[in-house]
Structure 1
Amino acid sequence: MSRYPKGYVKPTDSCDSCLAWGDFSGGLCPACYMFGRSHEAATCVGCLRVQPLKWGYCRLCWCQARINGRTAEADVRARLGAIGHHQLFFVGLHYRRGSAPVVARRGGGRGAIKKPPPAPAWHSNAGWRQLPLFGQVPRDYGRLDPTAADLASPWLAWAKYLAYQLAEARGWGRGIRIAVNRGLAIVLTEYVEGDVIRQSEIFTPLRALDLRFGHTTTVLEEMGIFLDDSEPSFERWLAERLEGLAPGIAAEAERWIRALHGGGPRSLPRQQSTVWLYLNGARPALLGWSEIRPPAGGDPRGRPRSPQDPARPPPPRPTRLPAFVVRLGQAFRRDLPQPHQSHQGRPERVQRAPTARACPDRPLRRSRRHPQPRD
């Protein structure tokens, strides 16, 4: 049976345990109800009331110790023992992140103290430097131990300062900053002025250590010591798609695809997906044309061989062109000038006046639509 009759609304009241004022059902607020389920009741040391206790103090004393902890940095037990009064509050407006107060760090806020920004550093322009006797020798960054990195290098100090400025401008997170500093420490160890750091040499080592390759190369580009020697993906894709075509057909197809990809004097570059679609659609037809070749040692005009010649394989079946290639050829044929036409473009239809055939035996017949008027 319910404690209150049907339709009864409990008025706003104060909690019997923490004395908080608000709307709730029953005699205890939800926080005190859950607090009492996990603690046994006894006499409180602070307020001398019989309430559920934690470390000998009720929930009201714990709330007051939390409020005192915002202004005084002391031990929790010392704040509990110094309680002389209680500050009342409303239900649901107290601090919800645990009953034990957290000591605020110096300067405000919570958590660990942030590290100071790196000291400003710039590239020192030396008046002279010793030119190398030989060219730059390729380096194997994968054999370098990350713990043996040179952290006192002036190049690393300059790189860290640039990385800090880029992180502040572009919003890099803490994890990205740490990964970039680690990558710069590995790459710039034993670096000599005048050398160039190539992408092909540092891509695999940085990815093996799960470091930020793109952010690290951004800092190196800002320093002016990075060289992107990687082959573009478009070049690899084009070489794979042109494989198997005849040399002449492959050359013309490559010229066409490069004009679509890079644009021309009177055309804009197309999207990469459009270029892929065009070449993938025309490749079956180009392969078919590449297979149609004159037989070895035979007549390129296709005349029959003599019976003494070896048997010739049957000619390949004609390959059907894609629909868009056929329509493209029709459009070019319609718009381009023809040799037998004296004007440019598609010829216009010439309207001729209707003529009647004359017969010597009979007079001309008049049209039924326009009869001759009677006299």
Structure 2
Amino acid sequence: MTAGRRSALVVANDTYDDQRLSRLRAPATDAEQLARVLRNAEIGGFEVEVSLNEPEHVARRKVSRFFDDRGPDDLLLLHLSCHGVKDEDGRLYFATPDTEIDHLDATSLPADYVNRQMTRSRSRRIVLFLDCCYSGAFARGMMNRGDERMDIMERFDGRGRIVLTASSAMEYSFEGDQLAGQGKPSVFTSALVEGLATGEADRDRDGFVSVDELYDFAFDRVRTATPSQTPGKWVFDVQGDFYIARSNRPPEPVDLLADLRGAISSPFTNVRLGAVEELAALLDDADSARAAAARMALDDMAEHDKQSVVRGSAERARRPAEAPPEPTPAAPEQPTVVPPLPDTSTPAAEAAVAREPEHSPRPV
């Protein structure tokens, strides 16, 4: 991850004095769960501040201070979970507990105000999560009136910014009509929490969760749960990836023989024979894991290939890598025993000579 401070401000409001603003059931639970996963040193590693059901003037000051005195490489994440209210001119406001519908500009947090604080900040790495009604209108409010194009360079002065919204400009991010019992997290924020906490948002399994990956994960979860709700993503002059969290999801196993798989399973015998030669050459590879994978592939071909010529070739190829059998120790040599020559000077020898039969003289 890029060096720099990692700071998050979670603003959630679910209680309102104006009876025309119905009570929301999710924001308090959302704030607690999202703050917990962002603050976790092994996941988000953010410095997190939570503003829960605080009046407009307090929330406004916290937003201003949050974006002030920052460096270009600081990663700033602002999460707003509350009612989004539009006035007759289409301007968007984020409702606070003391918001009055008849005096939105004076008693709520204007989206234009939030946008100005982000624009003035020196940070070029800003992420905004909006879980509220009309959240998509925030990004559309950044456009030139009557122009569907984003005038990025003129409006944002090259500063990187990503906005994720629970719904598009023409949709509501709704909570349902069941307000009894414990608060239930919204589909959008609970999807963000799930993706970060489990690491499932790390779709490429590189050990990190980028904003793009987190959005894709949340999009799929929201669309599955509420097909009428479409999360949005707006990117403004971003260089590289913004990584929100580390992932505890195990990395995807690496196929060490990926470049040979086609040849190993080829329908052509000669191609598979060529694969045998390549695998044999890898048995002495400096990478012990790759060498072991080559040995396993040769073993499989020697036992299961449909052509005997390939099986035989694989069998011969894997033999050099096998340890030679231990030699059988030779039996110790026995000394040769030479019998001694008879000693003719002994009395026994003389007796043998004496016993030699005498020949009688032949008659004449």
Q: TM-score, normalised by structure 2?
A: 0.29
Instruction: Answer with 1 or 2: which has the greater Rg.
Output: 1
TM-score, scaled relative to structure 1: 0.28
Between 1 and 2, higher relative CO (CA 8 Å, sep ≥ 6) is seen in 2
Greater share of strand: 2
